[in-house]
Amino acid sequence: MIPAKFDYIKVSSIGEAVTLLDKHGFDSKILSGGHSLIPAMKLRLSRPELLIDISGISGMDGISEEGDKIVVGANCTHQKIASSKLVKEHLNILAQTAGCIGDVQVRNRGTLGGSLAHADPASDYPATVLACDAQIIAEGKNGSRTIAATDFFQSIFTTALADDEIITSVRFPKVANGNYQKFFQSASRFAVVGVAVVKEGDAVKVGITGVSDTPYRASAVESAYDGGSSAAAKAVHGVEVMSDHFADAEYRSHLAKVYVKRALEA
Amino acid sequence: METFIGKPVKRREDARFLKGAGRYTDDIKLPKMTQAAFVRSPYAHAKILDVNIEDAQRGDGVVAVFTAQDGCGTFGVPCGWQVDFKNGETMREPQHPLLAKEKIKHVGEAVAIVIAETLEQARDAAELVKVDYEGLPAVTDPGKAMEPGAPLVHDQWSDNAAFDWCIGNDRTEVEAALASAHHVTEMEYRNQRLAPNAIEPRSYIADYDVNAGKWTLYTSTQNPHLIRLLLCAFVLGIPEHKVRVVSYDVGGGFGSKIYHYTEEALLTWASKEVGRPIKWTSDRSEAFLTDAHGRDHVVKSRMGFDKEGKIVAHLTDEYCAMGAYLSTFAPAVPTYLHGTLFQGVYTTPLIHLNVIAPFTHTVAVDAYRGAGRPEATYLLERMISKAAKEMDMDPAEIRFRNFIPPFDGVEQAGYQTQVALQYDSGNYEAVLKRGLEMLGYEDFRKSQIAARKNGKLLGVGISTYIEGCGIAPSAVVGSLGARAGLYEVGAVRVQPTGKVSVFTGSHSHGQGHETVFAQFVADKLGIAMDDVEIEHGDTDQVAFGMGTYGSRSLSVGGSAIIKSVEKILEKGAKIAAHKLEAAEEDLEYAEGKWTVKGTDKSISFGDVSLTAYVPHDYPEGLEPGLDFSSFYDPTNFTYPFGAHIAVVEVDSDTGRVVLKRFVACDDVGNVMNPMIVDGQIQGGVVQGIGQALLEEVIYDESGQMTSGSYMDYAMPRADDVPMIETDRTVTPCPHNPLGVKGAGEAGAIGSTPAVVNAVVDALSHLGVTDIQMPLSPQRVWKAMNNGR
């Protein structure tokens, strides 16, 4: 478990990181918590020549209230999010999501920005950022831009981020009535199925992770929603469902319906 | 005076373990030490067309690169147990080369070793070795390996069988009894392949001292002397007295560190070639691919019953995977450590087991915690519970009807089984009664009915096991094909001040020998535990020992130490009698001193010790010194037994099993340290739960392992298990001095079928009669919904 040779630079500003990223392109990788990147490097599945460590950039690990929004810095660890008073009060669904990632050691290292940028199809956050209609703030050589969560996840391990862009923060609307329900994979504790539900009046927003190679908004569920949970039957409508030895497509589809139902009823 | 036997004395070794101060092989750094990395095959079965090492040899910091074309190419590691075909044909025993030469036979097989100044350089250079393979079709399932036309693992033989063996009564007699039985229960299933997963991966340092002409091998092994013997006499042909094998702290073994692995021999050979020490420590990926695995039996079984639910006959056929090569004890595991336990705790009058052991394009299968006995127990305990359901009997009642009646092995003779063994002592009814009482079985059955009405899927599962351990009389295992003896050595060296050093051939890799052995030595000598030190794991310190496996340390290793303690006291009495000017027979020994009976004249153990080493005023003709070594070869195996009961709840929507309670009532004979026994049982139970619910090594059709990391291989975690409730009955072993039976494997043997029986019980009203292990949520959900 020894990675291939690489260079390492710890930057102190986002501008510095963007410049390096722009210069080195595919040969470089942003290092935040490193909980997905470092194991891949140790197995030599990933062999960047340069690691740009952004964990020392000041001001990127804050959590603040901005009007009707909660802004979470990309460098916030899962543990910080799960235990934040502000998040628990105004955005409990996010605290709940962060709190069921991995175990305490993982939560103390892994970060929100790192997890979203990695876009593992079995990670937990995507369901919640989708259901919350969060906005992902990214900075690149052309400055800062805002990406809607629904536009962010493009396919397996692929996002809307340009090659020179880094997530700096995520803006969440405050959520009064939402919850995240997860069926974990026994070995990795990643989500086999993760369902985030946000209720607003008569409407519901449903984000699903783990089921397809791209996390998605279950629009068929949302449009069939009648205040009860029967719409859960449409959880995998129009979706190509993944299959592995823990859950084949039939079982995973079933679990998606069960967990949408549980999230709608919670 | 403080005594220690039977008390929960805290483990002395834990102070260093908890502080991270253990002496594991990878912690050792020798001057001028180099690091090794292996080039391993990504194919399960392939021809090696070419190996080009030129670029690797030019790599930064590279000291040497070796392939099978070098001097090591002729060596192979041997198998330590021979099991022949029932028709008399000799076991098929392929050479297990240190590096693959012409053909690859499993994923992860080593093709080259790269030795460099640093580990990073070794890894980098290993990537520069270019191997040209021609991939071939593979077979990984033991059943499929015996189908006509299956790819051959070793093409010098016409099929993949290493041997075809049977045990028990005449097959036709058993068939006839089944044909006329009132009821026949049948099962077909796979006892899945498991990876042992010791927390410390295998680690070796070989160090050739050119001036002394001697080798030192530091190795994470469970039996340093056996490794030295195999390495010297059977692999490299180097003189045994020129080799020191050292195995200080070892972070778990579970069987996987018994065996002599190719890497140990190759490093030892290479250290002389390069003239420097070489270290190699497996990483977790290599551990999955190259540590010997456990289980992997494909089973087809029938058990016949009379009207009262008494077993009348049992017939089983199994395919038990050997892997690509025969690991050290591999042939013994599905045969003499498995078939010999088919009597279980029952009076079954007719038993027949046939085992075909095929080679497969996988890493070897060998002993893994329980080694053959968990597989036997799983079969018997699933079958009898399934029969109870089919015959509409209570699973506890059917067991009571079949139990062998109590016998202590003293007043009542041992129990002669149909499958070669004689049990030492047992009281199977008592242990199940206590287990049911701990659970509150009657009340549970009532609450189960109520729970079902509320849609809850609640189940209880019982398992009553026996195992054979304390392995065992050398003559017996020799007659069964073992190529080694199975005694143990224990030396007690009293220092002039009365402090005691004990040298044992047993090897602690987590069991707590330093504490337990000191407890009984201190008690027998009437001295403080602090005055006793236990040494193990160094072949230069300890006489030829056999190591630790098969729950044998206390019953065999402990008995050897007791023999030496007795010799110390016998000689000490002569010295004491001389000093006290009394006759030996007038002395009594208690609380660390010899006293002339009926007087206050006494001499302490310390004074006698000093006299032995300063023999100015000393018995005539008696040798100075107080230092004895003894070998103990037991007269029988020991037979611990117990009752394990699991309560589960199944999530009706998802199939996920939640263990609500686990009750383990075990009888391991006399108990030296109840805290350590509880710990051994609890750890074993959790490992057994791991097999029942979570763990599985999966090879795909092409022979790739798709479960080779903790992302895919599910280990039990603390939150997967409830508090394990333990209690014991005590039926002493009649044939060893401490009356102990062994506790290391019991938990893993009894627990697995209890959990599966509980899940099947929870779902029985849905028509579920069996589910393939591990009982993953998906499998349970599918079983519930297919109503199978």
Domain positions in chain B are 14-136+199-252+257-290, 384-470+638-787, 487-632
Compute CA B270 distance to the chain's CA centroid, rounded to the nearest angstrom: 30
- In angstroms, the separation between the Cα of residue B144 and the nearest Cα of chain A is 20
As beta bridge partners, residue B346 has B403
Q: Does A172 touch chain B (CB under 8 A)?
A: no
Closest residue of chain A to B122, computed from CA coordinates: A2
CB < 8 Å to B283, chain A: 1
Q: Does residue A81 share a domain with residue A168?
A: yes
In this structure, are A114 and A193 located in the same domain?
A: no
How many Cβ atoms sit within 10 Å of the Cβ of residue B276?
Answer: 21
Q: Examine the fold and report which residue of A108, A141, A173 is the final residue of a domain before the chain moves on.
A: A173
A134 domain residue, yes or no: yes
Q: What residues of A are in contact with residue B707 (Cβ under 8 Å)?
A: 245
Question: CA of A188: which chain B residue's CA is closest?
Answer: B711
**pLDDT at site A71:** 98
Q: Strand locations in B591-693, DSSP E?
A: 593-596, 602-604, 627-632, 641-650, 657-667
Query: Which of residues A117, A143, A173 is at a domain's end?
Result: A173
Q: Are A47 and A116 within one domain?
A: no
Contact between chains at B776 and A186 (C-beta distance less than 8 A): yes
* Cα–Cα distance, B223 to B508 (Å, whole number): 9
Nearest-CA distance B125 → chain A (Å): 11
Q: What's residue B264's pLDDT?
A: 97
Number of folded domains that form chain A = 3
- Domain boundary (A128, A145, A173) is at A173
pLDDT at B1: 83
Interchain CB distance below 8 Å, A255 and B124? no
B14-136+199-252+257-290 and B384-470+638-787 agree in CATH topology? no
Mutate to test the interface with A, among B691, B694, B711 (most CBs of A within 10 A): B711
| Shortest alpha-carbon distance between residue A15 and chain B (Å) | 33
CB-based contact B712 A254, cutoff 8 Å: no
Which string of DSSP letters, residue by residue, matches B20-54? T----GGG---TT-EEEEEEE-S-SSEEEEEEE-H
Answer whether A246 touches B (CB < 8 Å): yes
Interface of A with B in 10-49 (CB under 8 A): 43-44
Would you tell me how many other CB atoms lie within 10 Å of the CB of residue A159?
21
Q: Is the CB of A186 less than 8 angstroms away from the CB of B778?
A: no
- Confidence (pTM): 0.97
Phi, psi of B692 (to 5 degrees): -65, -40
Residue B562 phi/psi, 5° resolution? -60, -40
Judge if A69 and A159 occupy the same domain: yes
- pLDDT tens-digit map of B653-693: 999 999 999 999 999 999 999 999 999 999 999 999 999 99
- ipTM score assigned to the predicted complex: 0.96
Any domain includes A127: yes
- Assigned CATH topology for domain B384-470+638-787: Aldehyde Oxidoreductase; domain 4 (3.30.365)
Q: What is the CATH number of the domain that holds A208?
A: 3.30.390.50
Name the residue among A2, A190, A247 with its Cβ closest to that of B778: A247
Please count the residue pairs, one from chain A and one from chain B, whose beta carbons lie less than 8 angstroms apart. 48
The identity of residue B315, as a single letter, is L
Chain B positions touching A1 (Cβ under 8 A) are 283-285
Q: Are residues A43 and A70 in the same domain?
A: no
Q: Are strands B62-67 and B110-116 parallel, antiparallel or unpaired?
A: antiparallel
Q: What is the pLDDT of residue B347?
A: 98
Look at residue A197 and give its three-state secondary structure.
Answer: strand
Q: B778 and A2: CB-CB below 8 Å?
A: no
Q: Is residue A92 part of a domain?
A: yes
Q: Using alpha carbons only, what angle is made at residue B199 by residues B198 and B204, rounded to the nearest 5 degrees?
A: 80
Q: What is the pLDDT of residue B788?
A: 42
A58 in a structural domain: no
The answer to whether residues A149 and A213 belong to one domain is no
pLDDT the model gives residue B535 = 96
Its domain, for residue A259, covers 178-265
Q: What is the CATH number of the domain that holds A157?
A: 3.30.465.10
Mark whether A69 and A126 lie in a shared domain.
yes
Tell me the fold of B487-632.
Aldehyde Oxidoreductase; domain 4 (3.30.365)
pLDDT at site B787: 54
Same domain, A130 and A218: no
CB contact at 8 A, B668 and B736: no
**DSSP structure class, residue A60:** S
Cβ–Cβ contact A188 with B under 8 A: yes
Question: Which residues lie below 8 Å from residue B25, measured CB to CB, with a gap of 6+?
Answer: B203, B204, B205, B218, B219, B220, B247, B248, B281
Q: Using a CB–CB cutoff of 8 Å, tell me whether A251 touches chain B.
A: yes
With tokens 């072993």, the residue in question is B733
**Which ranges of chain B have pLDDT less than 50?**
788
Report if residue A1 sits inside a domain. Answer: no
Kindly determine whether residue A5 and residue B707, on different chains, have CB atoms separated by under 8 Å.
no
Distance CA B286, CA B307 (A): 53
Whether residue A117 sits in one domain with residue A86: yes
**Chain B residues touching A251 at Cβ < 8 A:** 777-778, 781-782
Whether residue A2 is contained in a domain is answered as no
Between chains, do B285 and A43 touch, taking CB under 8 Å as contact? yes
Q: Is A221 part of any domain?
A: yes
| CATH architecture entry for B14-136+199-252+257-290 | Alpha-Beta Complex (3.90)
A104 at B interface, C-beta within 8 A: no
Chain A residues near residue B713 by CB distance under 8 angstroms: 187
Domain co-membership, A68 together with A147: yes
**Interchain proximity A2–B707, CB inside 8 Å:** no
Name the token pair of B415: 């129990």
Q: What is the C-alpha separation between A88 and A97, in angstroms, rounded?
A: 11
- Which chain A residue lies closest to B287 (C-alpha atoms)? A1
pLDDT mean by block of 10 residues, chain A; 266 residues: 94 97 94 94 94 96 97 98 98 98 95 97 98 98 97 96 97 98 96 98 97 98 97 97 96 98 97
**Selected residue of A186, A244, A251 to mutate for chain B interface (largest B Cβ count, 10 A):** A186
Interface with chain A: mutation pick from B778, B782, B786, highest number of A CBs within 10 Å: B778
